[in-house]
Every structure is written in structure tokens, then in C-alpha cells.
């Protein structure tokens, strides 16, 4: 079995390439994905994940998603990172997050992302990225050594 962080980095690389099929290849058919845990209901199923990714990706021009730290325990991967991207309107979105992914074999079965949607909405409305967020996400990212 591959290290979970390698699988996650492969997902990130696929998303940066805007390859929805490659992202989905790392998910189980019965995936339950809380893309904004506590804020919105989860996406359930690979078909639901496809719809979400296509809708979300349609507004993104450039992706700079990074992971700062990770830890693995049995079938779980814990990550801290930043979902950073430029919208098709040229707006820079910087969203620090923490995530928990559960695996069955090499496939993600459960995924929970914890992110402050208020930070994202304020930036989408034209607000600046705060100095404390810039400092938080300015740290070095983990190496993106992907063995896809």
C-alpha cells in the first residue's frame, strides 16, 4: 500500500492539471466528501464528486494548492495546507484548511475539509487577503514527490 500522503499529492497534481478523471481515480465509488465540513452537506458518490469538481473548477484559472504538514494513522491521513487559486475573474483566493481523509486500500472513502468559508467569501467579494492569513500560508510546503 502506498503512503497516504503520496496518494493525496497525486490528487493535488491531478487537480492542478484540471484532470477530473485522475482526481476521481483516487476516490471510492461510495465516497463521502465534506468539502466544507460544518458549512455544507457532503458530496456522496463519485458521480456527485464529479459534479462538484466540474462546477468548482469552472471558476478557477490557476491552482496553487499546497500541503504544509501531514500525519498518517492506520487508514487516515491528516493534512494542513492552503487551497490557493486564481478565479477566472482574476481574484486570488487563499483558504487555509485542515483535512482528514480515510482510505480503503489506496482509495479515499471519506474526506473532511475544515475551512473558514467566511474568509473565502470575503476574498471573492473583493476583500484583501489578511496579513495573518498571508503569514499562515507563507510557510514552506511539503515536497510534491508524487509517485502516481
Q: What is the DSSP string of the chain?
A: ---HHHHHHHHHHHHHTT-HHHHHTTEEEEEEEETTTTTSPPEESHHHHHHHHHHHHTTEEEE--EEEEEEEETTEEEEEEEEEEEETTS-EEEEEEEEEEEEETTEEEEEEEEE-HHHHHHHHTTPPPPHHHHHHH-SPPPP-----
Give the other-Cβ count within 10 Å of 90's Cβ. Answer: 8
What's the CA gap between 76 and 109, in Å, rounded? 10
Fold of 4-137: Nuclear Transport Factor 2; Chain: A, (3.10.450)
Average pLDDT over every residue of 18-22: 97
Domain coordinates in residue numbering, the chain: 4-137
Write the pLDDT tens digit of every residue in 79-111.
999 999 999 999 999 999 999 999 999 999 999
> Is the pTM above the cut of 0.85?
yes
Beta bridge partner(s), residue 43: 33
What's the CA gap between 84 and 119, in Å, rounded? 12
pLDDT at 16: 95
Write the pLDDT tens digit of every residue in 24-51.
999 999 999 999 998 999 999 999 999 9
Q: Produce one character per residue of 19-55: b if its CB has 16 or more CB atoms within 10 Å, e if not.
A: ebeebbebbbeebbbbbbbeeeebbeebeebbebbee
Q: What is the DSSP string of 44-64?
A: ESHHHHHHHHHHHHTTEEEE-
Amino acid at each position: 500500500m502506498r503512503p497516504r500522503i503520496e496518494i493525496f499529492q497525486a490528487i493535488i497534481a491531478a487537480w492542478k492539471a484540471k484532470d477530473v478523471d485522475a482526481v476521481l481515480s483516487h476516490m471510492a465509488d461510495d465516497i463521502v466528501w465534506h468539502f466544507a465540513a460544518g458549512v455544507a452537506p457532503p458530496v456522496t458518490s463519485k458521480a456527485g464528486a464529479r459534479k462538484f469538481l466540474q462546477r468548482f473548477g469552472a471558476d478557477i484559472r490557476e491552482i496553487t494548492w499546497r500541503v504544509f504538514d501531514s500525519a498518517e494513522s492506520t487508514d487516515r491521513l491528516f493534512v494542513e495546507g492552503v487551497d490557493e487559486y486564481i478565479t477566472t475573474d482574476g481574484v486570488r483566493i487563499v483558504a487555509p484548511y485542515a483535512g482528514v481523509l480515510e482510505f480503503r486500500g489506496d482509495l479515499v472513502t471519506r474526506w473532511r475539509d475544515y475551512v473558514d468559508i467566511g474568509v473565502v467569501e470575503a476574498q471573492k467579494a473583493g476583500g484583501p487577503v489578511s496579513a495573518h492569513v498571508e503569514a499562515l500560508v507563507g510557510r514552506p510546503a511539503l515536497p510534491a514527490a508524487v509517485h502516481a
